[in-house]
Structures are given as structure tokens and as C-alpha cells.
Amino acid sequence: MGDLQAAPLSQAGLRCRCPRCGKGRVYKAYLVFAERCAVCGLDFRFADAGDGPAVFVILIAGAFIVTCALIVEVKFSPPYWLHALLWLPLTIGMCLALLPPLKSTLFALQYRNQAGEGRPQQ
């Protein structure tokens, strides 16, 4: 983390790319960080976003879905089963789509601000 150069957040975080070079992929599988960048060699084990992205996903998806559900309810008054049929899959899909870019954005912010996990001195 001694290297202070960082790729722009739009390039690194939202595109799920390396926070240093902006080219290498951050994930080796869905929401599983690779050990290091294949392009610049940055070690990704220095920090982890943990459960932080879930809060933002809940707030963003919740605000969007509730707003849309209220608009549909006021305009069309569909039965409740139709609300469930419409909004549950949309909510799940939106959450699954938002998690990777938000997790890599928080990871890029950790790199940019040199945040890491506390480790006891030995």
C-alpha cells in the first residue's frame, strides 16, 4: 500500500478493476477477491470491504423498489400477489447486480485512503 497512485473510482470501483492500475480484475469469482492483480501485481489481501456494501445495496435497492411499488400501487392498485410477483425478483436481481461494483468501490476507497485491517505488533 505504499504506492499512492490510484485509478479513478469510476474506472476501478464501478468496473470492478484494480484500484492501482484500473486494468486487472478484482474478482476471481462472484464477490470473491483475487489474491493479486494480474496486471500490476497489487496484493489484494491488504483489506476487505466486508459487509459494508450490503448497507448501500439495501438503501439503494430499497429506495428504488419502494418508490416504484408505491407509484404502481397508487396508479393501478394491483392485488398484493402481483406486487410480490413483480417486486421480489426485481429486488433480488437488483441487489445481486449492485453488490460487486459497490464492494469493489469500497475496496478501491480503502486502497486510496490506505485503510487496512488492524494487525497486532509481534
The pLDDT, as a whole number, for residue 2 is 47
pLDDT digits over 4-27, tens only? 578 888 888 999 999 999 999 999
Closest C-alpha among 98, 99, 68, 74 to residue 86: 68
Q: What pLDDT shows up at residue 120?
A: 62
What's the whole-model pTM score? 0.84
Whole-number pLDDT of residue 67:
98
Q: pLDDT tens for residues 83-120?
A: 999 999 999 999 999 999 999 999 999 999 887 666 66
pLDDT (tens digit, 9 = 90+) per residue, 28-59?
A: 999 999 999 999 999 998 877 888 999 999 99
